[in-house]
Amino acid sequence: MAVHAHPDDESSKGAATMARYVAEGVDVLVCTLTGGERGSILNPKMDRPEIRADISRVRREEMARAREILGVQQRFLGFIDSGLPESEDEPLPEGCFALQPLEVAARPLVAAVREFRPHVILTYDDDGGYPHPDHIMTNRVSVEAFEAAGDPDRYPGTGEPWQPLKLYYHMSFTKARFEALHEAMTERGMGSPYADWIARWEDRPQKWEITTRVHCAEYFPVRDRALLAHATQVDPDGFWFVCPTELQQEIWPTEDYHLARSLVDTELPEDDLFAGIRVREPLSAGEAGQVCG
């Protein structure tokens, strides 16, 4: 189960990983907490009055195309996009996702966990990956659901208890990755779009270490097609696609994660989100009938 704040987040973070596991026969569910109603139109070719007037419908249609490309299941959990404030002093809109009490915000995700019964959950770190209020709240509700879904005394009325076994944080946008791509593009005389970004990178240690690198380079083209399905958010001539896919596959062929919680024994570093789960022995009769998701 991958838990995301908005439509398009699933295609920019962990998409190739999901496509790989789908190809291996794993059931994958994307839970999208908001509809992305307040997201800006980031592709200038799509910034038209008729799209701005019906952005909620458009973004749902984009999500439908992306989930088909990735081969995943997906459901919206019904909250309203909080938008991205222009300053710390700007108040968030009343009723938005980021202002919900934690137990209200986590309840539909707990229900989804108990219904889908995933062994692994992917989410953002406690900074949200970047400080969008919806991303930060997504981390909070994901941790809450991981810790509460197996407890029969919590969230009554949301289904039979189910305890996921591992919780991961996305480590998609690390300085080391972009430095490696920058150096490779520069050496090949391509010119790199990353120099200014790297120069502005905050001079501080990376908060979370990478514990798990999932090899999924052959699924980068699937990831890119899913990204392009979010046409209001992703410019095909923009930043995402300046570095050739073939070079990314050569230089950084993994998607990376931090193992934040584990209820199974596993040896770090890992190359599989299901490390410690696939080899559990002996399995109970109930476990033997379950499919990792």
User: Residues within the annotated binding site?
Assistant: 6, 9, 135
What was the pLDDT predicted at 130?
A: 82
User: Residues within the annotated binding site for Zn(2+)?
Assistant: 6, 9, 135
In this prediction, what percent of the chain has a pLDDT beyond 70? 94
What was the pLDDT predicted at 204?
A: 60
- The Cα-based distances of 228 to 46, 173, 237, 259 in angstroms read 12, 19, 10, 29
Task: Pick one of 3.40.50.970, 1.10.260.40, 3.40.50.10320, 1.10.1060.10 as the CATH number of 2-172+254-288.
Answer: 3.40.50.10320
Stretch 32-37: mean pLDDT: 97
Stretch 215-219: mean pLDDT: 98
What was the pLDDT predicted at 205?
A: 64
What was the pLDDT predicted at 284?
A: 39
The single-letter code of the amino acid at 183 is: E
In this structure, are residues 36 and 60 in contact, taking their beta carbons and an 8 Å threshold?
Answer: no
Q: What is the pTM of this model?
A: 0.92
Question: Per-residue pLDDT tens for 85-108?
Answer: 877 778 999 999 999 999 999 999
What was the pLDDT predicted at 283?
A: 36
The single-letter code of the amino acid at 240 is: W
In sequence order, what E strands does the chain have? 2-4, 29-34, 73-79, 120-123, 166-170, 212-215, 254-262
In this prediction, what percent of the chain has a pLDDT beyond 90? 82
